Amino acid sequence: MAGGNPAPTEARPVTDHSFDYSTSLRFKNRADLEFYQKECKDHARFVATCKPFWDRVVVNDVGPLS
Distances (CA, A) of 36 to 15, 26, 39, 40, 48: 28, 11, 6, 5, 14
Instruction: Tell whether the model's pLDDT for residue 8 goes beyond 90.
Output: yes
Q: Can you give the pLDDT at residue 63?
A: 85
pLDDT at residue 22 in the model:
93
Q: Where are the domains of the chain?
A: 30-55
Task: Give the mean pLDDT of 3-25.
Answer: 93
Report pLDDT digits (tens) over 30-65: 999 999 999 999 999 999 999 999 999 999 888 888
**pTM of the entire structure?**
0.74
